[in-house]
Every structure is written in C-alpha cells, then in structure tokens.
A and B are shown apart, each in its own frame.
Chain A
Amino acid sequence: MTAADNNPAAILAAEAEAGAPGGPAGPVGPRGRGPRARNTTAYLTYVAGKLGGALVSMFAVLVTSFFLFRLIPGDPVKQMTGGRRVSSEQLAAMRAEFGLDDPVWKQFTDYCGNVLTGDFGTSYQFHTPVLDKITDALGPTLWLTGAAYVLYTVIGIWLGTRAAWRNGGLGDRFHTGLALTLYSVPSFWLGLLLIITFSVGAGPLPGLFPTGGMESGDESGVAYVVDVAHHMVLPVLTLVAVGYAQTLLVMRSSLLDEMGSDYLTTARAKGLRDDLVRRRHAVPNALLPTVTLMFVNLGTVVAGAILVETVFSWPGLGSLFYQALSVPDLPLVQGLFFVFATAVILMNTVADVVYPLLDPRVGR
C-alpha cells in the first residue's frame, strides 16, 4: 500500500470528524515548542488513554489475525506436501511439528505467547521462521518506501506551499493539475513506462537504469550502496510521482486557510519579507494537518508497495505478502498482517501523542 492509496479528501474529512484541526489554527509561535501552559497531569492522562487504546487495538489484531485466516479451509500439511502421496505416519509427524494436532484454543494461546516473544511460527512454503522472512524483506521495503516517503513528503509540502502562496496562478494550476493527474495514474503502468523509457531506452535516449531488482549482485562496500541507489531510482520515482499529490493538496488547502489570518497581517506590518512571513509564520501553522497525514503515511510505509515492488522485482514486504496470500501460507500471512497493523496503530498513536505538543487545543 502506498500513500497514494489514501484519499486526501477522506483524510481531511476524518480529521474534521475526529476534531483534528483541519481549519485555521491560532498562532502558536514561530515554532511550536510544546504546551507550556498545559497541565502535565492532564496530558499524561491523555497519553495513557491513547496507549491503552493502542494496546486494545493490538489485541484485537492478534485475535483477528489468528481466527480470520483459520476460516480458510484445507489442510496446511497437505498443502505443504503439494498433494503428493505421503504416508499417514509422516503426515501425523508433520502435524505434530506445527502444532496442528492441538485444539484450537491451545493453538491460540500458544500463538499469543509466541508472538510476545517475536515467534510467528514457520512459513509453510519457505520452511523458514516467519520473523526471518519479515526481517529479510523489511530492509528493502524501508529503503524503497522510506526514501519515497521522505521525497514525496518534502516535495508535497514544498509544492503545496508554493501553490497556495500563489493561489490561482499558473504555477498553482500547473502543479495541482500535474499532481492530480499523476495521482490518478496506476503505479504499475507508470513503472512499466519508466522501465521502457529509462531502462531499455527510447529513441536517442539510452537505457540509464536497471530494469529490475535491488542489486547487480557483484558489488560490495561503497559500490554496493551506490548500486542499490542506482536500482532504487525508478521505483522511488514511481512511488513519488503517484504519492506526492496527497501531501501537496493537504498542505495547499491548510495554507490557504491560514492566509487570511490576522497574525500574518501583523507580521507583514512589522516589515518582514513575504518569504519570511510564509516560512516562519504561515507554514508552521499550516503544517499541522500535514503532520497527521505524515504519520498516517508513515504507518503504511512498512507495508511496502505491492504493485511497484512487483513491477520492479523489489524484494520487499509487499511482494512477500502477495506470495503469502497466494498459497495461502498461514503463519506468514498472520505475521505480516500483525506487523502491518501494528505499524499503523503505532504511528497513529505517535501522532496522537505528538499532536498536543504541536497544537495545545488538542487533548483538552
């Protein structure tokens, strides 16, 4: 899932419903330094409430991930053996090995206990501990979606700011139009287009980048890092292209809300440059809804980007999840489901905890 999977309008609507400041914020100073006047006890109570909610959500995820995937019919052991003829003694031994001969309640309590120690079981198809598979794929995913996240957030904020500040101008219309167009483009199609143009080469343009994968396989040390960076260019470009519109639109609309505020008139009356008024006064306040969006997107970074990872053969969690579902590889699906859900819950909780520090009105 990419950031582009979230609808900006829906996010804003959700914020409004949740009471998050989607509208004009009062002046909180040049840099939000935290709620000095805030009652520390009230804040801690608020944080404890949020953490408690997160823990309840996590337990709900644990229960769901266990029982939901057990509704799928079929015998995992027979799936493991690919329908081959296997002696009943060998089948029984395999069932015992995976704990599949235990009652469901015991399987569940074992599962809960094991998850607490980081043991998600063994993948049926890869015969490897699920945690190892997840950690193997986590690095590539974080590199890819993490780099894309940083870039589309920075680009989105920067262009959103520029578009709002010159509202209605040619730049505003161009950037908003382009962003919305790219936002509507299917990521796998854009990825293939980039491969054809920049990997294979088109016309006089030679092929500049690899067609897929994460590395050439022959490099080490610094050359390896550069090689990976080289392989990252096109997939990151694809993710950024389809992802930055969201941040741009949220940033643009929240800055437009700020632009008629009195405190900006005051700042200009003091003789400050327009550039400074924007950077030091308008943007910090307008950033608040964008911060929420950033945390929501950060939660989805872990889940990778299934389509882009597939097109560029990137060995991340997105494509691992697809492989897990296609078998279905129960322990792997459960483990990934738990990790993805935990990341989203964690990031939303962080957003909830940090937000009062940025906006004193929240959590009162």
Chain B
Amino acid sequence: MDTRDQHGRTSTGRHSAPPARTRLLVAGGALAALGLTAGLATPLNPAPQQARAGDDGKKTLTVAVAQSVDSLSPFLAQRLLSTSIHRLTYEYLTNYDPKDNHTVPGFATKWEPSADKLTWTYTIRSDSKWSDGKKATAEDAAWTFNKIMSKEGTATANSNFVTNFKKVTAPSPTRLVIELKKPQSTMAALDVPIVPKHVWEKVDDLSEFNNDKDFPVVGNGPFVLSDFKVDQFVKLKANKDFWRGAPKFDELVFKTYKDQDAAVAALKKGEVSFVAGQPALTPAQANGLKGESDVKVNNGPGRRFFAIATNPGARTLDGKKFGDGHPALLDKRVRQALFLSVDRKTIVDKVFQGNAVEGAGYIPPRFSDYAWQPSRKQRLAYDPKRAAALLDEAGYKKNSDGKRVGKDGKALDFRILCHATDPNDKAVGKYLKEWWGDLGIGLKVNCLDDVSVPWYAGEYDLAFDGWSVNPDPDFVLGIHTCAALPEKAKESAATDNFICDKKFDELYDKQLAEYDPAKRAAIVKQMQSWLYDSGYMNVMAYPNAVEAYRTDQIKSITTMPEAAGNIYGQDGYWSWWSATPASGSGGSDGGGSTGVIIGIAVAAAVVVGGGALIALRRRSTAEDRE
C-alpha cells in the first residue's frame, strides 16, 4: 500500500488552502516581477547598435580581457594585460611606429651612443607632464632605472633590460645618460615604463607595492589609471594633456571575462566594444561573429610563432647533463627528417582553418626588418620520401612491422609535450601521429595542464612551443643561448629548450654589439638560418591575431602594423589612443539602469513573496496546535 492510499488527500481543502495561497502569492509575485522586467527590458535594454551615451555623455570603450592583473606596479607587472595598461599610463623612452615597427620618439626625442658604444645619451622631451601637473624630467627616468638595478625586489619585471647597465644619471632635466658594461644594441628598445620619482620615492617597499590603492594613479601616458577591482575591471580616463594629443574616447575599461564564449556573447549584446582573443578567437567564434551586424572580425598577421621544439639534451650551465631526452634526436638528420614530414599547409588549412600563415623562419613576417625565409635549396618542405631517406642514412631502417628501428634494435618512439589547454596542440598532435607513423616513428602525445615540470626537468623528447615576438628580437634569440641554461638541474631558467651552441652564441653577441640596424638585421637572419638548419625549432605557423569589435561603438582603430595587424597587445598605445567613437555612440552598454530596475523588481518580488509566506506561516490557529 503506498502512502497515498494511507494518507489520501482530503477533499475539505482545509489542509491545502494555505499552501495554495502561498503558491498563488509567490507565483503572483514572480509573475509580476517577470512582467515588470519584461516590460522594462525592451525600452530600457535597447539593441546594441543603439548603444547609449552615459548620462554624462561619456564615451566609453570596453575591452573584454581574459587575464588577471598580476600587479599594477611597473616594477612587478609581467602579464600582457598589466604591461599593456602601463603602456597606456606611463611613457617609455621610445615607441614603435605602427606602420613598420621602427623606433620613434617617446619620452625621449633623441638618443645616440658614444664612439666607444658604451654610453648612450637620451634627450628627454620638455612637453610631457605628470597627471598631477608636475613636469616629467630625465630625473624620473634615471630614478626608475636605478631602482630596477637595485636589490629591493624590483628586478621582477624589467631586469633583463638593465643587467648590462653600469650607471644611469640625469645631468639635466632633459638629459639622461646610461653607461654600459659592454655594447648593447637594444638601447632604443628599452620597454620600461618611466614612473614619477616624486610619487614613487615615498613607497616603503617596492617589492610589495602594487600601485592599486590610490586613484587616480599619477602617470604621463595617453590615459590615466582611475579605478581597479581585482578580476573585475581596470578603468582608465583619457589624459587630456597628453603631449601627442588626447585620446578620443573619454574612458577605457578592461573588463574581465574568464570565459571566451561569455566574452563573445557580451560583444554580441553590446556590453563590450572589443574582444581580445586568448591569444586569438577560435575559428568557430570568429565564424559565429562574421554574420553579426555591426561586428567586425579583425584577422591580421600575428606576432606569435607556433613550433615544435626538440630536446637537444638538457644540461646545466657547467655542462652537467640531466633529463631523459631521446638520444636519436641528437642526430641532426633525425631532427630534419621530422621537419620534412610535417605538412605545414595542412596545419594552416585544417587546424587554424586559414587563420595563420605557414611557418618558416623564427621571426614572424610582420617584423619585416628581421623576418627571414630559407632559400629554395635550404627549404625543408613537406617531403616524406626525403625524410625516409634521411632516417635510413641515420641508421633507423624500417623492420618487417613497418617500424623504424635503431642499431640497438629499439623502435623509434618519441614523446611530445602538449598543453592540455591548447586545442591546437592536440589537433596537430593527431596529424603528427599519422605523418610520423607513416614514416615508421611512434609518437605519444603527452598533454598536461602544466608542462613546465617535465620541461624544466628535461624529461621530454619534443614539445609544442610558441612565443610572442617583440619588435626587437633580442629576447627570443637570447633564450637559445648557453647563458640561458639553468645553474642547477631541473631549475627553471631563461632557456627555452636547452639549446647551447658556440656558433649561435657568437652570432648573438655580435648582433647585440652591432649598432648599425641593417648589419644587425643581417646577423639576426644568420641566426635564424642556423636555427632552421639545426632542426631544433620547427616553426609550423604564425597564427593570426583574430579579434573582434563593434563598429557601432568604434568607428576606426589603428592596427599594428597599420596595413594589417593586431589591435590588442600592441607594442605601443596606438590602438586605444587612436580609437574613434562611432557617431552617436556612447560606447559599450553595461545595461546599468536596466539592470538596476530589473534588480529592484526581482528583489521586490522576492521580498513580497517571502513576506507573504512568513505571514501565512505565522497565522497558525488553535487547531494547528496539538
């Protein structure tokens, strides 16, 4: 007998009356709220293309970003979002032209080396002032560099720029002098934010000061940092006194969206003006936005390369070997065979769905001064037959099972480290298994959330690798020098994948000491040629910067390079400084007032419903008591 038979519902209705009343009241309240919100939603939640100006007529540009701010202190910040904010709020000595990346004046109007190449003198502009009204001088720059050189925990962010500095002085308000230990060609590419001495010298401990409490933050860039909430937003106000001219948007907001799909939804709705990829929108997201009215997908040449790195045998600075890289990869012919059996065109067409350029040289083609292409004779194009011949020559012949076997009788099986969070790694991994399988080589794709552990330990054979390249290539070349190797086994270090070669090091030192741009570029190209031939770095593709913005909020914006390039994460402030609001647009619509009214309606419905429920529960009669 089930409980319903036991305790059948009575027909008196008495027991059910209170619940029915309650339900009616709650349902009524909910319906009223929904009706109110639905009624309000349409007029107060206009279509995105009619984005409203704020009550004060302020024009706001909202950028959806995925990263968290690590620090707002220029001495500590390392992440792209944080350093991009510093580019907008502080001047650097120099900047890069948006057309072709050549160095242009920033805080300095002129810079020249001494005859012995060891002293650089910068002429500091006299028309830049801090947002608190004080004049910005060479003294500020000298103080900034000296702080980075100190041992006060200020080496976190920009130490690589000053390790070769001997002394920095400011003989006058418009003259900055930097003395070097040895020649350094990157002196026109010191990407260091200059901070106001009169503000920062009051900070007790620079290693723990995040510059995120007192707003507005004093700066001299095109924008002034005006507000910040952890993992929510960073707000910047236009600096009307900026020496190059005020930005056209009144406010720039970097709003955190941890999920890229949610960010794309926010763009469709008009809550944000721009979505930055991480590092690019996926083909599916980009295709989904292409059909949207008032949305433009910017698909320009990127600054990254996507490569396969081989483990050449991990070792410490003093030559102590560690890790378990496959010994077969110490043979250049094996590395080149792997190179020859990767079809880059298929990777660009199928994995990146056309949103990338086929890889070749180490530096992406958008950096035209330094980009290098192999000659036809040198090119290691897709050629499985040649790859098979090279493997035969190296002593790895196919057995009856079709597997390549070494002289020791062991089958040729490799492991490749893959980033579990990167769908491109996984997709390319499948192709590699197929291509290398045809050659008789086994491959295990080892996808991990954190690849750094086996990477630092040298416990891998191959790895998916990729870097963002700066206009000055010094950093991405330096990570392949012997000096970048770890001091102790398994320690993290500057090295990318344990490459250490005398010839490459010589070329590196030579380019660093070469102050003639054309001659330096020639040396950099030689380095890339060596890297290409070595088979240590197989650059498969240069992924495009795929990002999107609303044309009903942003009328025009500068990409970098200007002809075709990226908007977010530029080497300069050009995109946000140049962005022009669409006519009649107030920028992105946060849905503020709508939200408030709907919120009030929902809250009121909950309060009314809850109150009614409590009132009903309290109306207990004598009959209710035992």
Which residues from chain A sit less than 8 Å from chain B, CB to CB? 30, 72-75, 78-87, 89-91, 93-94, 97, 122, 125-129, 133, 136-137, 164-169, 188, 192, 195-196, 199-201, 206-219, 223, 226-227, 229-231, 233, 256, 259-260, 267-268, 270, 272-277, 280, 309-313, 315, 319-320, 323, 325-326, 328
In the complex, are the beta carbons of A84 and B160 less than 8 A apart? yes
In the complex, are the beta carbons of A82 and B78 less than 8 A apart? yes
In the complex, are the beta carbons of B599 and A315 less than 8 A apart? no
Docked pose: A272 CA to B208 CA in angstroms: 68
Smallest CB-CB separation from B71: which chain A residue? A127
Stretch at the interface among B257-265, B348-356, B366-374, B408-416: B257-265
Offer 14 A-B interface pairs, CB within 8 angstroms, sorted by A.
A74-B452, A82-B156, A83-B494, A94-B156, A133-B230, A208-B37, A211-B269, A217-B253, A226-B600, A230-B599, A259-B3, A311-B259, A313-B258, A326-B450
Docked pose: A226 CA to B495 CA in angstroms: 51
Smallest CB-CB separation from B606: which chain A residue? A229
Residues on the A chain within 8 Å of B493, using CB: 78, 83
Residues on the A chain within 8 Å of B210, using CB: 126-128
> Chain B interface: which size bin?
35 or more
Given contacts A75-B492, A207-B269, A211-B269, contact A126 B70 (CB under 8 A): yes
* Additional 18 contacts, C-beta under 8 A, given A129-B208, A166-B4: A73-B490, A82-B156, A83-B492, A84-B159, A94-B156, A127-B207, A168-B4, A195-B265, A200-B269, A226-B600, A233-B602, A260-B3, A275-B19, A310-B258, A312-B259, A313-B231, A313-B257, A315-B256
B557 CB-CB contact with A under 8 Å: no
Which residues from chain B sit less than 8 Å from chain A, CB to CB? 2-4, 6-7, 9-10, 14-16, 18-19, 37-38, 41-42, 45, 68, 70-71, 73, 76, 78, 151-153, 155-156, 158-160, 163, 207-208, 210, 227, 229-233, 235, 253, 255-259, 261-263, 265-266, 268-269, 271, 449-450, 452-453, 456-457, 478-479, 483-484, 490-495, 590-592, 595-596, 598-600, 602-603, 623-624, 626
In the complex, are the beta carbons of B76 and A127 less than 8 A apart? yes
Docked pose: A229 CA to B37 CA in angstroms: 14
In the complex, are the beta carbons of B230 and A315 less than 8 A apart? yes
Which listed residue, B158, B492, B599, B623, touches A226 by the CB 8 Å rule? B599
Given contacts A97-B207, A216-B592, contact A86 B159 (CB under 8 A): yes
Residues on the A chain within 8 Å of B269, using CB: 199-201, 207, 211
Which listed residue, A80, A260, A273, touches B15 by the CB 8 Å rule? A273
Residues on the A chain within 8 Å of B266, using CB: 199, 211-212
Smallest CB-CB separation from B591: which chain A residue? A210
Docked pose: A31 CA to B256 CA in angstroms: 48
Residues on the B chain within 8 Å of A195, using CB: 261-262, 265
In the complex, are the beta carbons of B492 and A212 less than 8 A apart? no
Docked pose: A75 CA to B348 CA in angstroms: 36
Docked pose: A97 CA to B155 CA in angstroms: 13
Q: Smallest distance from the beta carbon of B195 to chain A beta carbons, Å?
A: 16
In the complex, are the beta carbons of A90 and B151 less than 8 A apart? yes
Inter-chain residue pair count (beta carbon < 8 A): 241
Q: Smallest distance from the beta carbon of A202 to chain B beta carbons, Å?
A: 11
In the complex, are the beta carbons of B268 and A200 less than 8 A apart? yes
Residues on the A chain within 8 Å of B596, using CB: 219, 223, 226-227, 230
Given contacts A74-B453, A127-B208, contact A272 B262 (CB under 8 A): no
Docked pose: A315 CA to B231 CA in angstroms: 5
Which listed residue, B6, B152, B155, B603, touches A81 by the CB 8 Å rule? B155
Residues on the A chain within 8 Å of B38, using CB: 206, 208
Smallest CB-CB separation from A84: which chain B residue? B160
Docked pose: A207 CA to B76 CA in angstroms: 40
In the complex, are the beta carbons of B602 and A217 less than 8 A apart? no
Residues on the B chain within 8 Å of A259, using CB: 3, 6-7
In the complex, are the beta carbons of B163 and A85 less than 8 A apart? yes
Residues on the A chain within 8 Å of B229, using CB: 215, 217, 315
Docked pose: A3 CA to B245 CA in angstroms: 54
Given contacts A165-B3, A274-B7, contact A217 B227 (CB under 8 A): yes
In the complex, are the beta carbons of A272 and B230 less than 8 A apart? no
Residues on the B chain within 8 Å of A169, using CB: 4
Residues on the B chain within 8 Å of A277, using CB: 7
Q: Smallest distance from the beta carbon of A341 to chain B beta carbons, Å?
A: 21
Q: Smallest distance from the beta carbon of B70 to chain A beta carbons, Å?
A: 5
Given contacts A207-B269, A217-B229, contact A72 B453 (CB under 8 A): yes
Docked pose: A338 CA to B266 CA in angstroms: 36
In the complex, are the beta carbons of A212 and B160 less than 8 A apart? no
In the complex, are the beta carbons of A210 and B595 less than 8 A apart? yes
Which listed residue, B6, B15, B230, B261, touches A136 by the CB 8 Å rule? B230
Given contacts A199-B269, A207-B269, A211-B265, contact A229 B599 (CB under 8 A): yes
Residues on the B chain within 8 Å of A127, using CB: 70-71, 73, 76, 156, 207-208, 210
In the complex, are the beta carbons of A122 and B163 less than 8 A apart? no
In the complex, are the beta carbons of A192 and B9 less than 8 A apart? no
Q: Smallest distance from the beta carbon of A99 to chain B beta carbons, Å?
A: 13
Given contacts A75-B492, A226-B603, A326-B449, contact A200 B265 (CB under 8 A): yes
Smallest CB-CB separation from A327: which chain B residue? B450
In the complex, are the beta carbons of A213 and B232 less than 8 A apart? yes
Docked pose: A328 CA to B3 CA in angstroms: 56
Residues on the B chain within 8 Å of A84, using CB: 158-160, 494
Smallest CB-CB separation from A215: which chain B residue? B232
Residues on the A chain within 8 Å of B623, using CB: 273
In the complex, are the beta carbons of A75 and B271 less than 8 A apart? no
In the complex, are the beta carbons of A313 and B599 less than 8 A apart? no
Docked pose: A127 CA to B82 CA in angstroms: 13
Docked pose: A74 CA to B457 CA in angstroms: 9
Residues on the B chain within 8 Å of A206, using CB: 38, 41-42, 45
Smallest CB-CB separation from A168: which chain B residue? B2
Which 3 A-B pairs give the minimum distances between C-beta atoms?
A: A315-B231, A230-B599, A275-B15
Residues on the A chain within 8 Å of B457, using CB: 73
Docked pose: A30 CA to B45 CA in angstroms: 51
In the complex, are the beta carbons of B491 and A75 less than 8 A apart? yes
